[in-house]
Structure 1
Amino acid sequence: MTATTAAAYRDTNVLRWVGAYTASVTGDVVYFLALTWAVTRTAGPAQAGAVLAAGAVPRAVLMLGGGVVADRFGARRVVVVSDAVRCAVILAVAVAVYAAGAELWLLYVLAVVFGTVDALFMPAVGALPPQIAPQDQLGRVQGMRALAVRLSNAVGPLIGGLVLGVGGPSAALGGAGLLFGASLVLLLGVRVEPLSVRETTGPRASAWADFRDGFGYLRRNRHLTRLVIVIGLGEMCFSGPVAVGLVLLTGERGWGTGVLAGILAAFSVGGAVSALVLTAARRIPYAGLFLTGALVLTAVAITLVGRIPSPGLAVALGAVTGAASGAAMVIGNALLQKETDPRYLGRVSSVTGLCTLGLSPLLLPLAGLVAAAWGAAAFFAGCGAVCLVAAGVGLSVRSLRTAKF
């Protein structure tokens, strides 16, 4: 790894990666908005859910394989190729929609292709930070990554809505493609350090052998396995289910869309603030305890969101939840990348990605079922319980409790 001691936010190479990641995530937001809009206008809202599911299935099923691909061929190469494919496919569909209209079969094909390429992109992009920054800067890099996600989630809907209003789905899909193109240009300028520990002698193992070896590596490393579980449980509820729960909660309380928007905005602002603080922090000597403490605070705050009768307090608790869950995400991912053997970064990232993004959609229907049976507060209490379990797992391993960077 490079010997530079410059702060990550002053490293132009890291900044290029952050810029590429921001453009890519913003493109994701615009793409999903455009796709949902196009399907709804073409075939109705029921088909919109089916098309989104068609894209989610290959993403979940193939993500572990995507980690193998990243480790075999190099994370940077996989990220660049997958970004290029996404850009080309979405621009081609945008042209087709402009020329012939939004055909339902074409939107299904787009969703499946995009989900498949995402299964390659996500583990690879998660494996890149240790190759572009020294270990003592990984916390800052993860803080910048979290800030990029918050910014993209705030700006993406504005861009998507504006372009949809002006030019319709074809223009919005084209805008998403251009964002992926900008991400690709920046990624081409990112330099990565070679993984000196990568084995270069002897016959190369098969992809299936690499797949099994990845799980074997996790089984052999109890500390790392527990950390993956902590991250997966800690983030699972916040990759969509909580937003659905908030919709149900505000409807149940009769608070209206203004309060819903306020809670979601406060959540994003809280996450952005914690990301900024951790980006600026020189070091975190008690990172393991900080992680578990943030998860406990997240559990308390998200549970109270479902119980508090005041909209103003709910907004304030949304900010606390965003800050605490965001801090846990930053610290957890930084520790994971610090502790993982570079040869396995893609495969380990694919497991955490599967837990946080691949399986979390399964909680979406659960939110509705729980709210219908016991009220929305019960769902938020369940999310709090999941975060407490994550904290308990973290505290159960001494090496994780005492982890630092």
Structure 2
Amino acid sequence: MEAEKRMEKLETENLEPSVIKNPKFVVLWLASAFSSLAFSIYLTTEAWLVVDGMDLKVWLGIIMMMTTLPRVFLMVFGGVLADRQKRSQVLFILNLIRASLVFGLVVLLYAGSLNIWILAAFAFCFGILDAFFWPSSSSLLPAVIRKEQITRANSILQTTNQMTFMIAPAIAGFMMKFRSYEEAFALTGVLLLLSSFLVRNMNEETSKGSDRNEKRSVFQDLKEGFLYVRGIPFLIVTMCSSVVVNLLLVGPLNIGIPILVKDSLSGDALDLSYLESSIAIGMIIGAVLVGILNIRRKRSVISLFLIFLLGILCALFSQIDTLWQGLLILSAAGLCLSISNIISPSLTQELVETKMMGRVQSMMATSSAGLAPLSFALVSVLLSFEVSISHIMFVSCTLMALFSLMVLWRVRIVWTID
């Protein structure tokens, strides 16, 4: 027994070379990098187009709400699709459709026909596609590597993705300032095409006992997924915590950053890109630290404490009046967010059976996105009543920090799960 434990420990300490040498993982790695780069460029360009290009900052929350709303209702069906179909093929088709939508947006911009209503419709369509994209994307990794490699593999993916998040806002800011919105969106479409074709012929392994080929109704699969999650109390706690945290953080932070750049800092697209890149720098550092440390114990406790720190940092960010303050605070916030976003999902991926992974990941993602539309809507309503974004961010992020402390204090399972 002791010899087996030593062998397992030695194997864990030498995982990274075998991960890098896994061709399926490398394909997933590259596809994820292109997709993340495209996603970040798109979001930065869309946000600045609404706030500055159209001068409709009150609408920014509504546009973001239109993206997240379909996820709430459709992501559980995306999880069923991920467990029934070949996940790499699902990603191929969805990225192809997303690229087509972006190129359509470019055509409308060139023709001068794009208005806020059309942009909202595009955002809604993106939300529908995302609802089916993310369950397949997040459940594909455990199908191409060993369970013991998940934390380190997630660290590699997150490090790369955060590097793209650092580069992407700078690219978007440069293109918007010196080129055009059309070219920034067109680049997004090209990157999505590259990601799509990379995963096209990827052959992930399916687990024994997988019921992809059984003739069962969608609702039978959904019921099985709900019962499975209900049987693991830690997943219930994680989902409930995610709902509250995202309600208090997603809307204020995503809407707040571009508005603070324009109103509090009197900045431009490049200043927005600097702040968003600073988050990515912190996230890269966090992902590298996780890869080096390969954290395997008390991950839930560490994750919740980092969310507490994230709340404090975002509350401080709401009070900035110079760019350098924002850069420092958001870098630290990115560090906390990155570590939490790697170790907590890695724990979930290790606990869950591969054949249930798509449905569980879709339910976890739904809990994350569940109140995000409400978060965006509430911020937009408060802004329409001329409540400052600084006040909104300070109150919501302080409440988030207090909530994290309460979960750590009152919920025993987060201390015992690993």
Confirm or deny a common fold (TM above 0.5): yes
Letter in 1 for 2:129: V
Shift of 1:321: 2.3
1:24 Cα offset (Å): 1.0
Q: Distance in 2 between matches of 1:389 and 1:327?
A: 19
Matches of 2:308 and 2:55, distance apart in 1: 41
CA distance in 2, matches of 1:68, 1:244: 32
Specify which of 6, 20, 28 is matched with residue 15 of structure 2: 6
Report if aligned partners of 1:122, 1:350 keep a CA contact under 8 Å in 2. yes
Q: Deviations over 1:37-69 (max 9, x none)?
A: 778899773796566554443343322221222
TM-score by length of 1: 0.80
Q: How far apart, in 2, do the equivalents of 1:32 and 1:288 lie?
A: 30
Contact 2:158 2:342 in 1 (8 A): yes
**1:323 and 2:335 equivalent?**
yes
With over 3 angstroms needed to count, the CA separation of the structure-2 counterparts of 1:393 and 1:403, relative to structure 1, is: same
Task: Mark the CA change 1:151 to 1:257 in structure 2 (over 3 Å): closer, same or farther.
Answer: same
Q: Kindly state the Cα deviation for residue 131 of structure 1 after the two structures are TM-superposed.
A: 1.1
SS at match of 2:91: helix
Query: Could you tell which deviates more after superposition, 72-81 or 273-282?
Result: 72-81
How far does residue 313 in structure 1 lie from its aligned partner after superposition? 5.8
Q: Find 1:226's aligned residue among 237, 240, 244.
A: 237
* SS at 1:128 equivalent: helix
Q: 1:332 matched to which residue of 2?
A: 344
1:82 Cα deviation from its structure 2 partner: 1.0
**CA-atom RMSD in angstroms:** 3.9
Shift of 1:79: 1.6
Offset of 1:334 from its aligned partner?
Answer: 0.8
SS of 2:15's equivalent in the other structure is coil
Question: Identity, % of aligned pairs?
Answer: 21
Partner of 2:36: 25
Question: Secondary structure of the equivalent of 1:188?
Answer: coil
For these two proteins, the number of residue pairs brought into alignment is 399
Q: Once structures 1 and 2 are overlaid, which stretch shifts more, 361-370 or 136-145?
A: 361-370
Contact map agreement 1:123 1:347 (CA 8 A) in 2: yes
1:86 deviates by: 1.8
Asked if the contact 1:271/1:324 (under 8 Å) is kept, the reply is yes
Task: Please give the alpha-carbon distance, in whole angstroms, between the structure 1 residues aligned to 2:29 and 2:102.
Answer: 22
**2:252 matched to 1:241?**
yes
Distance 1:73 1:106, change over 3 A: same
The counterpart of 1:389, out of the listed 396, 403, 409, is 403
Instruction: From 116, 136, 141, give the equivalent of 2:128.
Output: 116
Q: CA deviation at 1:274?
A: 0.7
The answer for the alignment partner of 1:178 in structure 2 is: 190
Q: CA deviation at 1:179?
A: 0.4
Query: Is the Cα–Cα contact under 8 Å of residues 42 and 102 in structure 1 kept in the other structure?
Result: no
TM-score by length of 2: 0.78
Task: Sort the Cα spacing of 1:375 and 1:162 in 2 relative to 1 into closer, same or farther, 3 A.
Answer: closer
Q: 1:77 aligns with which of 86, 89, 106?
A: 89
- Do the aligned partners of 2:252 and 2:389 also contact (CA within 8 Å) in 1? no
Structure 1 residues 94, 394: CA separation in 2 closer, same or farther (over 3 Å shift)?
same
Q: Is the 8 A contact 2:80 2:218 kept in 1?
A: yes
Contact 1:9 / 1:140 at 8 angstroms: preserved in 2?
A: no
C-alpha offsets along residues 220-247 of structure 1, whole Å, 9 cap, x if unaligned? Answer: 2212211223344445555452243456
Q: How does 1:190-209 map to 2 (within 5 A)?
A: 190-199=202-211, 204-209=215-220
- Partner of 2:390 in structure 1? 376
Return the letter of the residue paired with 1:160.
Answer: A
Residue 199 of structure 1: SS of its match in structure 2?
A: coil
Unaligned runs of 5+ in 1: none
Q: What's the counterpart of residue 401 of structure 1?
A: 415
In 1, the alpha carbon distance for the partners of 2:394 and 2:58 equals 28
